[in-house]
Amino acid sequence: MTDGPSLVFIGPMGSGKSSIGRRVAKRLGVSFTDTDSLIVAEHGRISDLFAARGEAEFRRLEREAVRRALREGGVVALGGGAVLDPDTRSDLAAHLVVLLTVSDRTVASRIRGAKRPLLNQGDPLEEWRRIAAERRPIYEELADITYDTSRGPLREVVEGAAAWAAARLGDAAPGADDTREEAHD
């Protein structure tokens, strides 16, 4: 996969991008990169970055991590807000993009107690809802296929995404099949 497009997971906080992406990479036998983990490894905790340097600096560091991860190939999980950068959105056109969605009811348990800077403004679930709604049009525009992670075994999402990616990666170069698909609504 390093010579062709990456398989990129996008979606709101708590949708399972990292855990599902890691499992899909293993299933496909390719590398996995989580851009948030790259940032943490190089610059420290994201909450500390937000506090000390602000969101704008975090987004700059995030853009660098995304660029590097896409260049290295394999399976890439983006932070929820990475798609806000216009250059990242342009870059994603050359890759296979999987949108993971999750219901607010399900995500409530996933974000409870987590230290996520954008959810520390008040009621974390209300903040999550607001952010997810604002970003939804961007996610949907970028996605080649969508999986909902709210219910059912995540194994089904992993198997579905891996099979979908394998079929596309076996076809041709990026952009050969420009159709958008919906799965597990």
Q: Could you tell me the CA-to-CA distances from 71 to 5, 14, 74, 111 in Å, in that order?
A: 9, 25, 9, 30
Q: How confident is the model at residue 3 (pLDDT cuts 50, 70, 90)?
A: low
- DSSP H or E segment with residue 34: strand 32-34
On whether the CB atoms of residues 98 and 183 are closer than 8 A, the answer is no
Q: What average pLDDT score do residues 91-99 get?
A: 97
Domain boundaries, the chain: 7-171
When mean pLDDT is compared over 56-70, 103-117, 123-137, the highest value belongs to 56-70
- Which positions ≥6 away from 85 have C-beta within 8 Å? 59, 62, 63, 66
Top-confidence residue, 174 or 92 = 92
Query: What percentage of the chain reaches a pLDDT higher than 90?
Result: 62
On whether the CB atoms of residues 74 and 7 are closer than 8 A, the answer is yes
Dihedral of the CA atoms 119, 115, 88, 39 (nearest 10)? 160
Q: What average pLDDT score do residues 55-59 get?
A: 90
Query: According to the model, what pLDDT value does residue 100 have?
Result: 96
| CATH fold of the domain at 7-171 | Rossmann fold (3.40.50)
Top-confidence residue, 169 or 77 = 77
* Encoded tokens for 139: 């996610």
